[in-house]
């Protein structure tokens, strides 16, 4: 931690350097949620004409800081200057007036509307739309020319691929006069090509003198596109660096606070018999698009099979089909050698296939339910909590949840607390506990540690390894390379709905990256 | 970021404050009409609870409200807004009439009455089932279809009572009187000359059954998951479509309680518009009762008292327009239902400080 102190003068020098004040300057930003200090006296200086990376692990405080800059939360203490002037940002309208625009991880677009109508949103220009539309069209043409941001203004958002939707978000921000553009994890949903396009646009924006803040936890991106980088950890700003003068290794170390454990893989797996296998599976998503296009795979007892891939390459639909949430279009699924008839999720659970879903808020829990009710989701018909006349006993449900919370270290251990009031990591531990409780032979798990803090990640990884060591089969879908590499005994790479490669444990990261990018062709 | 209120405050204090607020605004309205609010409140209270007769009438109206409120509440637990209680109750009345007209000559009352109640429940359930099926299997929004089904039911009733079921040689669009030994249903030893009847007991029973069904069975658990997070239902393997269809049928069967109370309990013949808008008031009752059977029963009592006290008020204070009672009812619906969250944030602030 010694390097922290040395960094502080680096920040101050940015302030006085080169005449023009920085585009945005934060001093001592502090934000507390209950007893959690999300931002602890955070400093950040971003110059015009630069791309500034803000990196840190989940829960490091990046998003809180950006939310404060964009007026989502008031800060408890600190000062923000824009172009040298102290400002107060009470809400996002204030932020927009100051030229601070944010492109969220989840796009804020109206899907049935056309591109042009989305661009005008918030800048409609008077009673009649015609004037605003003409202005938007003109600026769309100009922005397309200047930055290579080309989108058909009359296309409907719902018809556009993810990369194009993101361009619309950026165009919307620029149309409203953005000078400081914040992008929150912009590449999480992009294919490598789309990400390259995005970086080209960001460089063009920088050359125009805009300030770009890129929030990410991907070191590759930071090294590739930023000019400067600030590292957050545990709510504190721990370092500022010129990108040219640092390395991915150093940044990684700063982010985690220690050297990454060098291949701390436990004993290799001893795979047993085949438990689950899939032949030529094809699955369509809700919109009728074929997302899984002929996947075959086999999962053995005593192994963790990692499915790697950039999000949106069919992993979600594969998992949904295996868990019974979605009917497969064609193909066969075998469980313990036996061909399965079409099953719904309840039937799959009954056959010993448990599922920790990718999106825990959407699928894994019911936000309004007390935790004890979430803890029986999918198993609510179980005789374990049914008493008189087969009715569900609240007391038994509560006792069950209390036991689950103790075994799986869910905090707070409050069965009656609403599910939505638990942190992401604790929600995940609760769901994991629920699914492991009946000792399923096959565990399907999607994005096991998305939005989970570091302590929680380690606990969940330990749990998955222990499950494998107990001779069970785990199929894990993750978009986190590090997670895939840390846990998998075998890695299958999915691209465009197909398995494009299989790698052994401890595979070369670069090779994996190439496969994920679809470079097999 | 408002913190959630403690349960007791959410369930008791908040509705009570809303009611007080509604009453205060109503007092201003009465004052503006040049009348004394205290006298009006007095007349209202005496009119609804001042005598055995008054209490009987209040409970009679409350029975309608309770069934209507339960019907709306249970559908709402699955995230469905059943606006069609009025039509379902009307059809349930038809069910009673068909059973009674067809069999009252041949069956003793002890057999006929349960059969008539079953018939009404079946007709009400069918009138809820169809919109439920259309919602679950064809994606037709249940709000739209239930509104339409109200119109269809109303027209059908007019047609049948004017052209088919009318008593020959009569002008009034109503059936003949059922020949049932109805002493059993029309009173259960309740003092006074009110229409309060056994249906009241059925309402209490229905509330208990709804509570057990929704909060104590795996089926009800699934229902609540469907209502709170349909995606989680898919994850859990709960068949959303089937839940929707079944709960709409149950909702329609509960609506039939209104028909039992009115037709079997009082009129003993099928007449037009016997529901009197109770089906719509049920929406307000469910809203105020927070879609919980106990809350629904309490809200039903309040609305029953308003209905009964209101007619007394019009009698006692002829200078106060009859519409004023409707205004008061409207204000209560407004403050307890639509503006139910109005006081939540300030209350949460006060309680956090205290």
Q: Which of A112-126, A324-338, B80-94 has the highest mean pLDDT?
A: B80-94
**A354-409 pLDDT, tens digit each:** 999 988 888 999 999 999 999 999 999 988 899 888 899 999 999 999 999 999 88
Decide if A32 contacts A89 (C-beta within 8 A): no
Give the confidence band of A516 by pLDDT, cuts at 50, 70, 90. Answer: confident
Assess whether A292 and A408 both reside in one domain.
yes
* Per-residue pLDDT, A521: 43
Assess whether A413 and A470 both reside in one domain.
yes
Q: Would you call B2 an interface residue with chain A, using a CB distance cutoff of 8 Å? A: no
Length of chain A, in residues? 521
CA distance B51 to B192: 9
Chain B residue numbers with beta carbons less than 8 Å from the beta carbon of A367 are: 228-229
Assess whether A395 and A472 both reside in one domain.
yes
Closest CA in chain B for residue A395: B216
Give the confidence band of B181 by pLDDT, cuts at 50, 70, 90. Answer: low
Closest CA in chain B for residue A435: B236
* Per-residue pLDDT, B345: 77
* Per-residue pLDDT, A164: 84
Helix (H) or strand (E) holding A239: strand A236-242
Q: Would you call B234 an interface residue with chain A, using a CB distance cutoff of 8 Å? A: yes
Helix (H) or strand (E) holding A293: strand A290-300
User: Tokens 């009187």 map to which residue?
Assistant: B177
Assess whether A255 and A298 both reside in one domain.
no
Within-domain flag for A359:
yes
Torsion on CA atoms B28, B30, B31, B32, rounded to nearest 10 = 90
Q: Of the ranges A259-268, A393-402, A417-426, B105-114, which one carries the lowest mean pLDDT score?
A: A259-268
* Per-residue pLDDT, B33: 82
Q: Would you call A357 an interface residue with chain B, using a CB distance cutoff of 8 Å? A: yes
Cβ of A367 within 8 Å of Cβ of B229? The answer is yes
Q: Would you call A102 an interface residue with chain B, using a CB distance cutoff of 8 Å? A: no
Assess whether A291 and A388 both reside in one domain.
yes
Instruction: Scan residues 377-396 of A and list those with Cβ closer than 8 Å to B.
Output: 377-378, 380-381, 386, 390-392
Length of chain B, in residues? 354
Within-domain flag for A483:
yes
Assess whether A255 and A329 both reside in one domain.
no
Q: Judge whether residue B320 has pLDDT over 60.
A: yes
* Per-residue pLDDT, A434: 94
Q: Which domain holds residue A335?
A: 274-516
Count of CB pairs separated by less than 8 Å, A with B: 66
Within-domain flag for A435:
yes
Query: Cα-flanking dihedrals φ and ψ of residue A480, to 5°?
Result: -90, 115
Mean pLDDT for all residues in chain B: 88
Decide if A239 contacts A53 (C-beta within 8 A): no
Cβ of A377 within 8 Å of Cβ of B236? The answer is yes
Closest approach of A444 to chain B, Cα-based (Å): 12
DSSP string, A130-195: HHHHHHHHHHHHHHHHHH-----TTSBGGGS-HHHHHHHHHHHHHHTT-SEEEEESTTTT--HHHH
Give the confidence band of B171 by pLDDT, cuts at 50, 70, 90. Answer: confident
Give the confidence band of A411 by pLDDT, cuts at 50, 70, 90. Answer: confident
Percent of chain B with pLDDT over 90: 51
* Per-residue pLDDT, B130: 97
**Domain total of chain A:** 2
CA distance A382 to A392: 9
Work out the number of other CB atoms within 10 angstroms of the CB of residue A160. Answer: 18
Mean pLDDT for all residues in chain A: 84
Residues 6+ apart with CB under 8 A from B184: B109, B110, B113, B198
Assess whether A238 and A292 both reside in one domain.
no
Cβ of B234 within 8 Å of Cβ of A380? The answer is no
Give the confidence band of B2 by pLDDT, cuts at 50, 70, 90. Answer: very low
Closest approach of B11 to chain A, Cα-based (Å): 16
As to burial, measured by CB atoms within 10 angstroms (0-12 exposed, 13-18 middle, 19+ buried), residue A457 is buried
Query: Can you give the CATH number for the domain in which A348 is found?
Result: 3.40.50.300
Assess whether A320 and A454 both reside in one domain.
yes
* Per-residue pLDDT, A192: 67
CA-based nearest residue to B249, from B102, B136, B113: B136
Within-domain flag for A174:
no
Q: Would you call A362 an interface residue with chain B, using a CB distance cutoff of 8 Å? A: yes
Assess whether A387 and A499 both reside in one domain.
yes
Within-domain flag for A146:
no
Q: Would you call B4 an interface residue with chain A, using a CB distance cutoff of 8 Å? A: yes
Assess whether A278 and A255 both reside in one domain.
no
Give the confidence band of A220 by pLDDT, cuts at 50, 70, 90. Answer: confident
Assess whether A488 and A346 both reside in one domain.
yes
CA distance A327 to A317: 10
Within-domain flag for A88:
yes
Assess whether A506 and A412 both reside in one domain.
yes
Q: Would you call B352 an interface residue with chain A, using a CB distance cutoff of 8 Å? A: no
Give the confidence band of B346 by pLDDT, cuts at 50, 70, 90. Answer: confident
Within-domain flag for A235:
yes
Within-domain flag for A413:
yes
Q: Judge whether residue A36 has pLDDT over 80.
A: no
Give the confidence band of A140 by pLDDT, cuts at 50, 70, 90. Answer: confident
CA distance B233 to B238: 5
- Tokens describing residue B213: 């069904």
* Per-residue pLDDT, A269: 65
**B273-312 pLDDT, tens digit each:** 999 889 998 998 998 888 999 999 999 999 999 888 888 8
**A292-333 pLDDT, tens digit each:** 999 999 999 999 999 988 777 889 999 999 999 999 999 999
């Amino acid at each position: 931690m010694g390097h922290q102190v040395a960094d502080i003068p680096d920040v101050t020098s940015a302030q006085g350097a080169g005449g023009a004040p920085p585009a945005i300057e934060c001093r001592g930003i502090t934000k507390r949620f209950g007893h959690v200090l999300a931002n602890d006296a955070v400093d950040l200086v971003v110059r015009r004409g630069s791309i500034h990376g803000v990196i840190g692990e989940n829960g490091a405080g990046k998003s809180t800081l950006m939310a404060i800059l964009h007026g989502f939360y008031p800060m408890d203490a600190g000062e923000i200057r824009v172009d040298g002037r102290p400002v107060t940002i009470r809400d996002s309208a204030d932020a927009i007036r100051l030229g601070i625009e944010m492109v969220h991880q989840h796009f804020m677009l109206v899907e049935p509307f056309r591109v042009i109508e989305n661009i005008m949103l918030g800048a409609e220009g008077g009673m009649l739309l015609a004037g605003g539309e003409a202005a938007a069209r003109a600026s769309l043409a100009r922005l397309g020319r200047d930055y290579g941001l080309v989108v058909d203004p009359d296309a409907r958002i719902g018809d556009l691929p993810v990369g194009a939707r993101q361009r619309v978000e950026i165009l919307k921000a620029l149309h409203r006069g953005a000078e400081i553009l914040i992008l929150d994890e912009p590449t999480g949903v992009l294919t490598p090509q789309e990400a390259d396009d995005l970086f080209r646009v960001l460089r063009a924006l920088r050359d125009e003198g805009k300030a770009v803040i890129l929030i990410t936890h991907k070191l590759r991106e930071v090294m590739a596109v930023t000019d400067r980088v600030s590292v957050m950890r545990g709510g504190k700003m721990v370092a500022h660096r010129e990108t040219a003068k640092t390395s991915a290794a150093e940044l990684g170390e700063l982010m985690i606070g220690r050297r990454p454990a060098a291949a701390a893989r436990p004993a290799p797996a001893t795979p047993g018999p085949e438990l689950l296998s899939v032949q030529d599976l094809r699955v369509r998503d809700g919109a009728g698009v074929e997302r899984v296009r002929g996947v075959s795979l086999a999962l053995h007892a005593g192994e963790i099979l990692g499915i790697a891939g950039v999000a949106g390459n069919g992993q979600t639909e594969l998992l949904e089909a295996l868990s019974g949430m979605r009917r497969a279009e064609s193909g066969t699924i075998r469980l313990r050698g036996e061909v399965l008839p079409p099953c719904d999720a309840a039937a799959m659970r009954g056959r010993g296939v448990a599922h920790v879903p990718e999106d825990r808020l959407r699928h894994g829990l019911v936000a309004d339910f007390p935790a004890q009710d979430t803890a029986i989701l999918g198993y609510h018909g179980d005789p374990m909590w049914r008493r008189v006349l087969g009715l569900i006993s609240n007391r038994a449900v509560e006792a069950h949840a209390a036991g689950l919370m103790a075994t799986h270290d869910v905090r707070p251990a409050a069965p009656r607390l609403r599910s939505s009031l638990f942190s992401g990591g604790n929600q995940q531990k609760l769901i994991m506990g629920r699914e492991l409780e009946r000792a399923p032979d096959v565990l399907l798990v999607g994005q096991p540690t998305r939005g989970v803090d570091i302590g929680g990640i380690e606990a969940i990884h330990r749990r998955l390894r222990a499950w494998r060591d107990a001779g069970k089969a785990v199929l894990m879908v993750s978009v986190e390379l590090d997670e895939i590499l840390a846990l998998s005994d075998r890695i299958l790479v999915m691209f465009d709905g197909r398995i494009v490669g299989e790698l052994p444990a401890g595979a070369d990261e670069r090779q994996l990256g190439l496969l994920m990018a679809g470079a097999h062709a | 970021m408002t913190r959630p209120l403690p349960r007791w405050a959410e369930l008791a204090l908040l509705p009570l404050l809303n009611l007080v607020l509604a009453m205060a605004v109503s007092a201003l309205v009465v004052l503006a009409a040049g009348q004394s609010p205290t006298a009006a409140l007095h007349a209202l209270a005496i009119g609804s609870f001042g005598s055995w007769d008054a209490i009987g009438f209040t409970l009679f109206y409350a029975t309608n409200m309770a069934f209507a409120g339960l019907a709306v509440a249970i559908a709402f637990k699955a995230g469905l807004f059943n606006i069609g209680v009025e039509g379902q109750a009307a059809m349930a009345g038809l069910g009673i009439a068909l059973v009674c007209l067809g069999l009252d000559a041949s069956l003793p009352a002890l057999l006929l009455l349960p059969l008539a109640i079953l018939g009404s429940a079946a007709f009400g359930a069918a009138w809820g089932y169809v919109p439920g099926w259309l919602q679950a299997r064809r994606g037709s929004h249940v709000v739209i279809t239930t509104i339409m089904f109200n119109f269809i039911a109303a027209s059908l009733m007019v047609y049948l009572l004017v052209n088919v079921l009318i008593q020959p040689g009569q002008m009034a669009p109503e059936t003949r009187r059922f020949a049932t030994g109805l002493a059993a249903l029309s009173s259960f030893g309740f003092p006074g000359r009110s229409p309060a009847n056994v249906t009241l007991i059925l309402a209490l029973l229905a509330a208990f059954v709804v509570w057990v069904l929704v909060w104590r069975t795996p089926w009800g658990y699934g229902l609540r998951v469907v209502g709170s997070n349909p995606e989680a239902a898919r994850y859990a393997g709960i068949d959303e479509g089937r839940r929707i269809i079944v709960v709409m049928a149950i909702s329609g069967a509960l609506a039939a309680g209104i028909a039992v109370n009115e037709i079997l309990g009082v009129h003993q013949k099928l007449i037009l518009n016997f529901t009197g808008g109770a089906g719509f008031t049920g929406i307000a009752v469910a809203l105020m009762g927070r879609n919980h059977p106990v809350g629904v029963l309490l809200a039903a009592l309040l609305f029953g008292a308003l209905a009964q006290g209101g007619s007394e008020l019009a009698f006692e204070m002829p200078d106060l327009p009859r519409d004023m009672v409707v205004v008061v009812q409207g204000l209560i619906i407004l403050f307890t239902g639509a503006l139910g969250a109005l006081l939540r944030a300030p209350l949460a602030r006060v309680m956090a400080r205290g």
